[in-house]
Amino acid sequence: MGYLLPIYLLQLLLTTSDFVVPRSWLDTCHWSLPQDLHKHQFLSSSDSCTILSLTGQEACSVKCQAAASASSRPTESALQADYIYMVMHKIFHFEDIFSTPIKRRMFRTRDCCSRLCKRKAVADYMTPMMCELQRLFWQKGGSDNHVDQVWPNLYVGDAWAAKNKLLLQDLGITHIVNAADGRFNVNTGAQYYQDLCISYYGIEAYDEPSFKISVFFYQAANFIKRGLDTPGGRVLVHCAMGVSRSAALVLAYLMIHEHLTLVNAIKIVNSHRDICPNMGFLRQLRDLDISLNEERNTFDSMEP
């Protein structure tokens, strides 16, 4: 029903005797019209012409002078009739009218409404409480493989997958984030992948609620972003089990660089792999979600 308003406005213009289509519009539209669009009939015995729609019903009447039948080029009035018929034809048949000069006025309201709806959705979002976030992990839909792709070219895995060089080659891994780096964790390091030409980033994190993994959110997210932006880049983020530490870093990346909310990030990752960050990590992710949401709302409020 959104197209009725522009049709009504166009009909008002047509009933106005002083309405004149700008010459620049006529020169650009008439000679590109398909042959089947010239369906109006010029009456030599009358000073008016009637434009018919493709269904045969009368769409509108335009006052114009009678066109000379022997003229090789239509008169100014005929050009105006052609232009109006073209616009009406495209409206009735939902064709692309973005190339016509009236496009901006006809679609400005729709675009503004779309932007307002998106802003309202962001403004209405509130980070859930911890208990609600925990329930999201109960909706198991992923797998418990050694490694799973949770986002295009982004993988989450365990220690076995991180040490399996043949598997890494088959997957085409180019970057690795080890969230369990260190002598008493998954002790690989950059030297371990030297023969595979894999970029390595290690974080000596511990799967304990008191560990401040949030200090590595942006560093790890930036490393993952650089890896995915590399032509042919594929990134593996792993820890010992691929459930808590690595999952927390991947969720942080999706929130920081892919602009997902924590809720959407959890749903997406959990649908591909069973994850469950510990309570301390989840609380830090929640704090990050609140901070990013405030930044989005501040930025949107500054836009016109």
pLDDT for residue 210 is more than 70: yes
CB hemisphere CA count around 24 (13 angstroms): 3
6 — pLDDT class (breaks 50, 70, 90): low
CATH of 125-302, one of 2.130.10.10, 3.30.420.40, 3.90.190.10, 3.40.50.800: 3.90.190.10
- Spatial neighbors of 244 by CB under 8 A, at least 6 apart, are 207, 275, 276, 277, 278, 281
Marked catalytic residue, from 60, 197, 239, 276 = 239
Residue 230: per-residue pLDDT? 97
The pLDDT mean for the chain works out to 76
Interval 131-181: pLDDT, tens: 999 999 988 778 889 999 999 999 999 999 999 999 999 999 999 999 999
Domain positions in the chain: 4-112, 125-302
Interval 79-127: pLDDT, tens: 666 666 565 555 545 444 445 555 455 555 555 555 545 454 455 789 9
d(CA 56, CA 63): 19
pLDDT for residue 302 is more than 90: no
Dihedral over Cα of 290, 259, 221, 184: its sign: positive
- 276 catalytic? Reply is no
